[in-house]
């Protein structure tokens, strides 16, 4: 009996032919597919497109979950147009001869380092109203800027009433999207993951009234909110609205953050479970962290990648006996603990927000 879940590792050219033959034989029974591709090689790119289009053209489609991860370095000027076209076929209307037993309910494209378009997700929303989980947080800071508009995400939210989890960049949401999510839905919204980058320089803040309506409608909602080193520091305080039910907060800015930590302490004392901080140490930051330790009653994980006084560390641990994991250091340590201002560690620390 064929497995209902398949992982395709397209990183070795000589092995890919057998993988494609396996897909031709068992594609009609697959419910979950994960593709890992070394996109540096042209052959791997072509084979990825073949796998995706083969899934799209199955005579009987039971596919419900789809994940695509890039595991190599992007070649020069690589935009992934062929892969995006293949995805558009998978997300688009099925062939008239195709029997759609199931439609997609989970799509994870967070492992891709190419720029998406509205077209891709409008097709997904139009043809897969059963969608429950969508992750479009791409992983590379070198992939220019996010071009998925709030109008597109609003369309997804309207046409996919079963949506339970959503992960995207702050520039792709708006007050209208949040208010739509606060409307009547048959399934409670469980998690929103939001990353803030350079695009927020000219963006509009989502007002607290919208977040308040969303939190009231979905009392069990957990928000994972992150800021990387490209996000303008002066925009963070406007994004941090009091009514956001923030469970996970990542501050990977490598800047002075005592004001922002003070806001988090004041706003998210009843919801915050995890804080990750890459910033500059200062007496003000240490006082802010102690205040956070007093207020964040649910805090289970605290990882602070800057040097703190021994007294501050002891004070945090005394105030937070419920901590299950933490990184608190009184002396600067060598790589990989010591954050780097440039280079691969910045990308590695900034690419994903883990809830």
Q: How far is CA 19 from the centre of its chain?
A: 29
Q: For the residues 19-29, what does the mean pLDDT come to?
A: 73
Among the ranges 131-135, 230-234, 324-328, which has the highest mean pLDDT value?
Answer: 131-135
Q: Which of 71, 73, 116 is nearest to 91 (CA)?
A: 116
> What are the extents of the domains in the chain?
245-355
Give the C-alpha separation, 196 to 205, whole Å. 12
Q: Tens digit of pLDDT for each residue in 72-118?
A: 888 877 888 999 999 999 999 998 888 889 999 999 999 888 888 89
Q: Tens digit of pLDDT for each residue in 248-281?
A: 999 999 999 999 999 999 999 999 999 999 989 9
Least confident of 15-24, 100-109, 289-298, 302-311: 15-24
Give the C-alpha separation, 32 to 54, whole Å. 14
Residue-level pLDDT at 344:
31
Strands in 274-279's sheet, in edge-to-edge order, are 5-10, 32-37, 65-70, 106-111, 133-135, 165-169, 191-196, 222-227, 246-255, 274-279, 301-307, 325-329
Residue-level pLDDT at 141:
52
Could you give the 3-state DSSP secondary structure of residue 61? strand
CB 267 within 8 A of CB 295: no
Higher pLDDT, 88 or 27: 88
Q: How far is CA 96 from the centre of its chain?
A: 34
Residue-level pLDDT at 355:
55
Higher pLDDT, 351 or 292: 292
Q: Which of 74, 71, 126 is nearest to 103 (CA)?
A: 126
Q: Tens digit of pLDDT for each residue in 162-180?
A: 999 999 999 999 999 999 9
Least confident of 67-71, 159-163, 201-205, 315-319: 201-205
User: Which residues make Cβ contacts (< 8 Å) with residue 70, sequence separation at least 6?
Assistant: 37, 38, 39, 111, 112, 113, 139
Token pair of 281 as six digits: 């140490």
């Amino acid at each position: 009996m064929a497995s209902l879940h398949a992982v395709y590792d397209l990183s070795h050219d000589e092995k890919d032919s057998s993988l494609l033959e396996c897909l031709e034989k068992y594609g009609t029974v697959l419910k979950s597919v994960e593709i890992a591709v070394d996109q540096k090689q042209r052959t791997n790119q072509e084979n990825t497109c073949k796998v995706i289009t083969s899934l799209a053209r199955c005579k009987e489609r039971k596919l419900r979950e789809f994940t695509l991860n890039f595991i190599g370095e992007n070649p020069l000027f690589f935009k992934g147009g062929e892969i995006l076209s293949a995805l558009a076929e998978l997300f688009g209307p099925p062939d008239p001869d195709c029997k759609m037993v199931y439609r997609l309910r989970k799509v994870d494209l967070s492992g891709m380092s190419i720029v998406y378009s509205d077209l891709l997700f409008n097709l997904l929303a139009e043809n897969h109203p059963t969608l429950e989980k969508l992750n479009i947080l791409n992983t590379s800071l070198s992939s220019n800027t996010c071009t998925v508009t709030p109008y597109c995400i609003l369309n997804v939210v309207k046409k996919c009433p079963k949506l339970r989890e959503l992960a995207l960049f702050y520039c792709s949401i708006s007050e209208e999207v949040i208010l739509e999510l606060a409307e009547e839905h048959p399934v409670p919204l469980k998690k929103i993951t939001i990353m803030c980058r350079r695009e927020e320089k000219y963006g509009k803040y989502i007002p607290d009234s919208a977040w308040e309506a969303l939190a009231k409608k979905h009392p069990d909602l957990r928000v994972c909110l992150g800021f990387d080193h490209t996000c303008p520091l002066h925009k963070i305080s406007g994004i941090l609205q009091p009514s956001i039910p923030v469970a996970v907060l990542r501050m990977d800015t490598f800047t002075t953050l005592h004001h922002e930590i003070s806001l988090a302490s004041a706003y998210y004392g009843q919801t915050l479970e995890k804080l990750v901080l890459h910033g500059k140490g200062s007496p003000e930051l240490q006082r802010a962290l102690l205040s956070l330790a007093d207020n964040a009653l649910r805090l289970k994980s605290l990882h602070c990648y800057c040097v703190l006084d021994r007294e501050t560390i002891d004070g945090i641990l005394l105030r937070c006996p419920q901590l299950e994991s933490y990184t608190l250091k009184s002396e600067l340590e060598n790589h990989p603990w010591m954050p780097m201002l440039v280079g691969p560690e910045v990308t590695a620390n900034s690419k994903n927000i883990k809830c």
